[in-house]
Amino acid sequence: MSATSRFVSSHFPDTRMRRMRRDDFSRRLMQEHRLSADDLILPVFVLDGSGREEAVASMPGVSRRSIDGTLKIAERALALGIPALALFPVIDTSLKTADAAEAWNPEGLVPRTVQALKSHFPELGVITDVALDPYTSHGQDGLIDDTGYVLNDETLAALEKQALCHAAAGADVVAPSDMMDGRVGRLRAALESGGHIHTRILAYSAKYASAFYGPFRDAVGSAGNLGKGNKKSYQMDPANSDEAVREVALDIAEGADMVMVKPGMPYLDIVRRVKSELAVPTFVYQVSGEYAMLKAAAANGWLDERACVLESLLAFKRAGADGVLSYFALEAAQWLVEGK
Ligand code: PBG
């Protein structure tokens, strides 16, 4: 019997869908998906110096913090049961160059942050972003030619150095977010031959050329560098979905341990297809623009922030995500504790 005929053959009042919804006990028993702190990854913006904290104007409640402040956030995340942090560096303009060499400086901001986090909280998962945009004077994720085109194979060599630098500092997971072809295979081979056999790869596999990244580019200070440029020659076209499945399949074949869909809420269909068709550990990024939208509506009293945020996070799980990167991770984990 097909699913449809099963519904067609049932009739009122034998079937009253509201019976199970009547009481809290049966609603709880019937619940298919649950959100827990175990599902959350907190992205954090890291600054150089000490005792520094700068608010990000387009992301109310989010700050860029120096390493000392980041350690305090990490401690809170750990206490709330959040498994991992994802680091995004704010690189001083004077260190940004065409060749992005600061990206693999072993004394750089990211390796120092990783070392500090792992020495204070060895059990906390530390994820680093592998892409050149915080380090390039032009704000692109890769190296460019005279016409501004992002060069694939030349960029791979740089990403390899960056990933090895992060792994050497103790990063548990490297997350290439650059969308160059062949980067996952290249990083896996480099990590294996470098002796980093346990370093996991979380591939930003289906990363779209989205306008929802705007506040993030403000936060890391790459918006000005990018100017009127865009990332359409490497990030995916929002019109496509088969292409996302193919990107994920390639990344898995190249050695990705986990894959990601990004942005989140407008791309739940992609999350579902990836999970159903490939059945691999699937993550989704509720990006800066999604955070900004929810915060703005809540600040105006137009939406109930707590209810809407928890609903959006649960929706990611229903769509098939195993975990969610969200700037709401701390608040959500706290709300989950209070809701118990
Ligand atoms: C850059 C990167 C971006 C984000 C994560 N890594 C921005 C971009 O691709 O321009 C966006 C995250 C967000 O918007 O929250 N490699």
DSSP string, 279-305: -S-EEEEE-HHHHHHHHHHHHTTSS-H
Q: For residue 1, what pLDDT band results from cuts at 50, 70 and 90?
A: very low
Structure tokens at 63: 């700050």
Q: Please identify which of the residues 262, 275, 295, 317 carries the catalytic annotation.
A: 262
d(CA 131, ligand 1 centre) in Å = 9
Kindly report the pTM of this predicted structure.
0.96
Does ligand 1 lie within 6 Å of residue 213's CB atom?
Answer: yes
295 is catalytic: no
d(CA 331, ligand 1 centre) in Å = 21
Average pLDDT over residues 88-94: 97
pLDDT at 260 over 90: yes
The DSSP code for 4 is H
Strand-pair category, 125-130 with 173-176: parallel
pLDDT at 2 over 60: no
Whole-number pLDDT of residue 225: 86
Report the complex ipTM.
0.97
Provide the phi-psi class of 255: left if phi over 0, else alpha when psi is between -120 and 50, else beta. left
d(CA 216, ligand 1 centre) in Å = 6
Average pLDDT over residues 264-278: 98
d(CA 133, ligand 1 centre) in Å = 9
Whole-number pLDDT of residue 3: 56
Does ligand 1 lie within 6 Å of residue 177's CB atom?
Answer: yes
Using one digit for the tens of pLDDT, what is the confidence trace for 54-84? Answer: 999 999 999 999 999 999 999 999 999 999 9
Whole-number pLDDT of residue 5: 60
User: What phi, psi does 74 have (nearest 5°)?
Assistant: -60, -40
Whole-number pLDDT of residue 8: 62
Strand-pair category, 84-89 with 150-151: unpaired
Q: How far apart are CA 264 and CA 272, in angstroms?
A: 11
Substitution candidate for ligand 1 out of 59, 62, 287 with most atoms within 8 A of CB: 287
Does ligand 1 lie within 6 Å of residue 287's CB atom?
Answer: yes
User: What phi, psi does 229 have (nearest 5°)?
Assistant: -70, 165
**Residue owning the nearest CA to atom 11 of ligand 1:** 213
Could you list the beta-strand ranges (E) of 67-149.
84-89, 125-130, 143-144
The number of helix segments (H) and strand segments (E) in the chain equals 14, 12
d(CA 308, ligand 1 centre) in Å = 23
Using one digit for the tens of pLDDT, what is the confidence trace for 143-173? Answer: 999 999 999 999 999 999 999 999 999 999 9
Structure tokens at 319: 């769509």
Q: Specify the higher pLDDT residue, 227 or 176.
A: 176
For residue 176, the cross-strand partners are 130
> Helix 152-169 and helix 183-193: axis angle, to 10°?
40
Q: For residue 105, what pLDDT band results from cuts at 50, 70 and 90?
A: very high
% of the chain surpassing 70 pLDDT: 97
Substitution candidate for ligand 1 out of 62, 130, 133 with most atoms within 8 A of CB: 133
262 is catalytic: yes
| Selection from 176, 42, 48, 63 nearest residue 107 by Cα | 48
% of the chain surpassing 90 pLDDT: 92
Lowest mean pLDDT among 1-5, 63-67, 237-241, 264-268: 1-5
